[in-house]
Amino acid sequence: MISKAWVISGVLLAMPAFAEMQALDDDTLSSMNGQGGVYLSGEFSINKDGGVLWSKPASNNPSTWTASQRSCATAGATTPENCGMRVAIRSEADGGWYVLDNLKGVFSFEGLTLRTRTINSGFGGDGAAFNQDVLEFGLPNEVKFKDGSFAFGVANQGGWQNKSLSAANGGNPAYQQTNIFSAKIDGTIRMQGNVLVFPQN
């Protein structure tokens, strides 16, 4: 027992002696090539269970909603749905608004890489002439969407207002939004490749 302890502590004592830190000089350091880079995986969910502005009403009939309720189900659907994020932009003084509405869902990816790379060859001959560093984003092999959706449209007010409620009840009969199109995405998109980013003079 005692001998083992001595051996262990002896080894422990001895190890620092072999691995003593020595400062590398600049020449040696600059010739080292480290593998720098980042590997990212992530999951984003936007308004998966609804947002902060509106709560989910009991029906899809806008005239039955209270002032803080809104359902974003598609036209003709029977069950109400939570609403996603809304972004509205106006590009003209006193003009109307471009609206990205009902942006919601779960978006996840694995294996997005980020590193710098020197390109001075390849690319069908372009690499040698290019001879610069680039920032390389490696696309994830798969991007998964779950219940993703968004709608693009135009409106005469930035915030959404209920057209079928009177102003006294918290609505605005003069509100008009024209949806140009909306989309829902579900499933996996397989992709591969790199996006190379570099400055242009």
**What part of residues 29-88 is at the interface with another protein (CB under 8 A)?**
34, 36, 60-64, 74-77
Nearer to another protein, 9 or 64 (CB): 64
Which of 7, 118, 121, 159 forms a contact with another protein (CB under 8 A)? 118
- Give the range of 18-26, 43-51, 105-113, 175-183 binding another protein by CB under 8 A: 175-183
Query: Which residues lie across from 48 on neighbouring strands?
Result: 50
Torsion angles phi and psi, residue 103, rounded to 5: -85, 110
Dist. CA 50–CA 80, nearest whole Å: 12
User: Letter for the amino acid at 126?
Assistant: D
Q: Which stretch binds another protein (CB under 8 A): 18-26, 41-49, 105-113, 169-177?
A: 169-177
Query: CB of residue 47 vs another protein: minimum separation in angstroms?
Result: 17
Which positions ≥6 away from 141 have C-beta within 8 Å? 110, 111, 190, 191, 192
Retrieve residue 196's tokens. Answer: 């190379």
Instruction: Give min distance, CB of 156 to another protein, in A.
Output: 4
Which C-beta is closer to another protein: that of 67 or that of 195? 195
CA proximity to 47, closest of 149, 178, 161, 151? 149
Q: Which is nearer to another protein, 8 or 189 (CB)?
A: 189
Is 153 a binder of another protein (CB under 8 A)?
yes
**Site residues for another protein, window 3-32 (CB under 8 A)?**
none
With respect to another protein, which residue has the nearer C-beta, 41 or 141?
141
Long-range contacts for 113-116 (Cβ within 8 Å, ≥24 apart)?
113/37, 113/38, 113/39, 113/40, 113/137, 113/138, 114/37, 114/38, 114/39, 114/40, 114/138, 115/35, 115/36, 115/37, 115/38, 116/36, 116/37
How far CA 161 is from CA of 33, 70, 114, 165, 167, in Å, comes to 58, 9, 42, 9, 10
* Residue from the set 96, 107, 108, 110 that interacts with another protein by CB under 8 A: 96
Query: Which one among 55, 112, 113, 163 touches another protein, defined by CB under 8 A?
Result: 163
Segment near another protein (CB under 8 A); pick from 5-13, 14-22, 49-57, 127-135 = 127-135
